[in-house]
């Protein structure tokens, strides 16, 4: 049972930064280097596959930075001076 939709336990890929990928790649290489000879071949191929996948991710050029764009519906709102209140308030009496 889930407490809410979209929580981290859902089955979806984790988003990692480039630094996290480099660190994970080093950890996986260290892990495969220190495996005992009697380790199952399936485990070795699984780790090797993850290493290949990370190396392919890191070999690709990083995506260009996104430009900060103002939505078209907000361009006219800003810079036109102070806005009028939505609903006028009665004056406060002390």
**Tell me, what's the pLDDT at 81?**
64
The DSSP 8-state label assigned to residue 3 in this structure reads S
Q: Between the CA atoms of 48, 32, 24 and 46, what dihedral angle is there, to the nearest 10 degrees?
A: 30
Note the pLDDT of residue 52: 96
pLDDT computed for residue 86 by the predictor: 75
Phi and psi, residue 60, nearest 5°: -70, 145
Q: Considering just the CA atoms, what is the radius of gyration of the chain in Å?
A: 26
pLDDT digit string (tens) for the chain, length 94 residues: 556 666 666 666 778 889 999 999 999 999 999 999 999 999 999 999 999 999 999 998 877 777 655 555 555 555 566 666 677 778 888 7
**Tokens representing residue 10 in the block:** 């859902």
Beta carbons of 49 and 34 less than 8 angstroms apart: no
Supply the angle between the helices 41-59 and 18-33 in degrees, to the nearest 10: 150
């Amino acid at each position: 049972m889930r407490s809410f939709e979209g929580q981290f336990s859902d089955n979806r890929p984790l988003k990692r930064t480039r630094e996290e990928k480099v660190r994970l790649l080093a950890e996986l290489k260290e892990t495969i280097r220190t495996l005992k000879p009697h380790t199952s071949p399936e485990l070795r191929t699984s780790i090797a596959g993850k290493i290949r996948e990370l190396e392919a991710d890191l070999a690709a050029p990083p995506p260009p930075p996104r430009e900060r764009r103002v939505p078209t519906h907000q361009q006219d709102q800003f810079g036109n001076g102070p806005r009028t209140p939505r609903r006028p308030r009665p004056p406060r009496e002390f």
